[in-house]
Structure 1
Amino acid sequence: MLNRWFNLPEWNVGIFSFLLNFVWEIQQMPFYQIPAEFSHLDMINGCTLATVGDVGISIVAFWTVAGISKSRQWVHRSRRWQISSFILVGVVITIIFEALATGVLNRWKYGTSMPTLPFLGTGLLPLFQWVLLPPLVVWFIKRQLSEPKHSH
C-alpha cells in the first residue's frame, strides 16, 4: 500500500519539489531584507513555509499540465511543450504571489542585491527558480518512477 503512494506522480512532484526548492530558498535568503530580530530558526521556518508554498505551486502546475495532457502520467514521456507549460504555470503563479507578497500583503521585501524585472518588479531569483527547478523535478521523477533496468 505504501509503495502505491510512492508511485503517484503527485507524491514525487511534492518530494522532489520540496527538496530542490528548500535548498533554493535557503540560498536566496541574502537577496531579501531580513529583519534584525530574526533568528536562524526564524529564517529556517520562513524558508520551510516558502518551500511548502513552492510545493503547492508545483502540484498545481503538474495538475494543469495533466489536465491539458489528459494524463497524470505525462512526466514519464514528457514532451517539450509539457515541460514548458509546467514552467510557465509556475512562473505566472510566482509573478502573482511575489507581487502580492511584496506589495499589499507586505510579507517580505527584496534586498538591494535582488535583481528585478522592469515594470513588474518581480525578483529574478524567484523567476529563475521556476525556470530551472521544474525540469529537474521532472528528471528526478522519471528516474524515480522508471522501470528498473535488468542486466544480463
Structure 2
Amino acid sequence: MPTCDDADSGQKKTSLAYLSLLVPPNLAWEAGQLPLYTVWLTGTHGDQAYAALHCTVGDAMIALSSLGLAILALRRGDWPSHGFPAVLLATTAIGVAYTLFSEWLNVEWRGAWTYAVAMPRLPLTGSGVTPMLQWLVLPPIRLFAAQRMARQTTDFGASS
C-alpha cells in the first residue's frame, strides 16, 4: 500500500522532471519568437540573450506555480498517481490565464516590452498569439513526459 511518503516522492519526482523537461524547449521557444518582439530590431545581441533567458526563468516560475496552484485548487495531494488529467488541464489553464494577464500588463499597460508588427495578436486582449501557444503546447506535452519519467524511475527503484 502506498504511503504519504510515496505520494510526496512521486510529486517531487514528477515536478522536478516537469521542470527539467520544460526549461530547454521554453528557452528554444523564447529564442524562436524573439523576431516577434521589437528587441529583435532595436536590441543588442546581449539584450536579446537577456530577454530570452529572463523570459525562460519566468516560464519556469509560471510552470511550477501553475502546477502547484492546480494541485492545491483541486486538492490532489495524491497527484500524480491520481487525478493527473485534471491537474494537467488546470495547470495549462492557469499558465495560459497568467500569460494572458502578463502579456497584457507588460505590453499594453506597463510598456515593459513591445511586439513587432509581425506578432499575431489575439483580438480581445491584444496579447501575442505565440506566448499563448507556448502555454497550450509545451506544458501538457512535458507533464505527460514527466509523469512517464517519474513512473519509470519509481518502477526501476522498486525492482532494485
TM-score, normalization: structure 2? Answer: 0.79
In the alignment of these two chains, the number of paired residues is 147
1:148 to 133, 140, 156: 156
| Aligned residue number for residue 70 of structure 2 | 65
| Aligned residue number for residue 30 of structure 2 | 25
Q: Would the alpha carbon gap of residues 55 and 103 (structure 1) be closer, same or farther in structure 2, given more than 3 Å must change?
A: same
Using the TM superposition, give the Cα deviation of residue 82 of structure 1 relative to its aligned residue in structure 2, in angstroms.
Answer: 2.3
* Higher normalized helix content (fraction of residues): 2
Using the TM superposition, give the Cα deviation of residue 35 of structure 1 relative to its aligned residue in structure 2, in angstroms.
Answer: 6.1
| Aligned residue number for residue 133 of structure 2 | 128
Residue by residue, what CA displacement relative to the aligned partner does 1:104-151 show, whole Å, maximum 9, x if unpaired?
22111111111111121010100000100111220221232112399x
Using the TM superposition, give the Cα deviation of residue 31 of structure 1 relative to its aligned residue in structure 2, in angstroms.
Answer: 1.0
Distance 2:84 2:13 in 1: 19
Q: Would the alpha carbon gap of residues 26 and 148 (structure 1) be closer, same or farther in structure 2, given more than 3 Å must change?
A: same
Q: Secondary structure at the match of 2:26?
A: helix
Q: Would the alpha carbon gap of residues 22 and 77 (structure 1) be closer, same or farther in structure 2, given more than 3 Å must change?
A: farther
RMSD (Å) for aligned C-alpha atoms: 2.5
Percent identity of equivalent pairs: 23
Q: Would the alpha carbon gap of residues 72 and 112 (structure 1) be closer, same or farther in structure 2, given more than 3 Å must change?
A: farther
Q: Secondary structure at the match of 2:156?
A: coil
List, as ranges, runs of 4+ consecutive aligned residues in structure 1 with deviation greater than 6 Å.
none
TM-score, normalization: structure 1? Answer: 0.83
- Equivalent residue letter for 1:148: F
Structure 2 gaps of 5+ residues are: 1-8
Using the TM superposition, give the Cα deviation of residue 36 of structure 1 relative to its aligned residue in structure 2, in angstroms.
Answer: 4.7
Q: Secondary structure at the match of 1:108?
A: coil
Distance 2:91 2:103 in 1: 18
Structure 1 gaps of 5+ residues are: none
- Equivalent residue letter for 1:49: H
| Aligned residue number for residue 81 of structure 1 | 86
Distance 2:78 2:55 in 1: 27
Q: Would the alpha carbon gap of residues 14 and 73 (structure 1) be closer, same or farther in structure 2, given more than 3 Å must change?
A: farther
- Equivalent residue letter for 1:74: W
Q: Would the alpha carbon gap of residues 71 and 80 (structure 1) be closer, same or farther in structure 2, given more than 3 Å must change?
A: closer
> Structure 1 stretch 35-44 or stretch 113-122: which is displaced more?
35-44
